[in-house]
């Protein structure tokens, strides 16, 4: 009976995951030709959190691509909570979910996967599925908490906020 419950629970969660991903796509109005690719990418970024949501969000604010000219870090990924599920998403994926133009490259996906894998190695989350392929860590700048005040942290997407430009 115990095994049956676990198997049923696992199957139910997989169905819930697929329904949530398709719901996100439908609600975002994303009906372009890349929808299948976006669904696959969203499933790859599905996670279960082990630590506090805010801790993961703060950590992600210190991981990204740095400017060559100044001490400025552009945040690459965000944590998205949608319909009871958590995703690590590249900021360009968020633009696409909003129906805006976004050129999500293979390198962007690889960088997102590398960042997600780092968070898993730091025991902040658990990846559901496979986060492959991954970009080399040399493409990603990681600031320690102590370095944070020495840098300008830039986000290209603000979840839940209207950006003033």
**Helix ranges restricted to H, the chain:** 2-28, 35-44, 53-60, 91-97, 106-121
Q: Whole-model pTM above 0.75?
A: no
Residue 165 lies in a domain: no
> Residue 164: inside a domain, yes or no?
no
Q: How many domains does the chain have?
A: 1
Q: Which residues of 111-121 are buried (b: 16+ CB within 10 A; e: fewer)?
A: bbbbbbbbbbe
Structure tokens that stand for 14 in this block? 């997989």
Contact status, residue 96 vs residue 104, Cβ threshold 8 Å: yes
Q: Is residue 143 part of a domain?
A: yes
CATH number reported for the structural domain that contains residue 42 in this entry:
3.30.70.650
Is 160 within the bounds of a domain?
no
3-state DSSP assignment of residue 128: coil
Domain extent at residue 28: 2-154
What percentage of residues in the chain have a pLDDT greater than 90?
A: 42
Please identify every stretch of the chain with a pLDDT value under 70, giving residue numbers as ranges: 1-45, 161-165
Residue 161 lies in a domain: no
pLDDT on residue 128? 86
| Cα 37 from Cα 69, distance rounded (Å) | 35
Q: Output the pLDDT for position 2.
A: 40
Query: Is residue 162 situated within a structural domain?
Result: no
pLDDT value for 130: 76
98-127 confidence digits (pLDDT tens): 888 889 999 999 999 999 999 999 999 888
Task: Assess if residue 96 is contained within a domain.
Answer: yes
- The answer as to whether 69 is a domain residue is yes
């Amino acid at each position: 009976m115990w095994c049956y419950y676990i198997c049923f629970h696992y199957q139910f969660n997989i169905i819930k995951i697929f329904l949530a991903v398709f719901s996100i796509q439908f609600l975002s109005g994303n009906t372009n030709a890349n929808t299948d690719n976006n669904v696959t990418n969203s499933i790859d970024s599905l996670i279960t959190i082990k630590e506090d949501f805010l801790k993961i969000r703060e950590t992600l604010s210190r991981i990204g691509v740095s400017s060559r000219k100044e001490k400025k870090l552009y945040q690459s990924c965000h944590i998205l909570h949608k319909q009871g599920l958590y995703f690590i998403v590249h900021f360009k994926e968020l633009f696409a979910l909003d129906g805006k133009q976004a050129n999500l490259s293979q390198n962007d996906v690889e960088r997102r996967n590398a960042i997600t894998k780092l968070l898993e190695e730091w025991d902040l989350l658990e990846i559901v599925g496979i986060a492959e392929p991954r970009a080399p860590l040399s493409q990603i700048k990681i600031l320690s908490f102590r370095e944070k005040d020495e840098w300008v942290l830039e986000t290209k997407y603000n979840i839940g906020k209207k950006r003033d430009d």
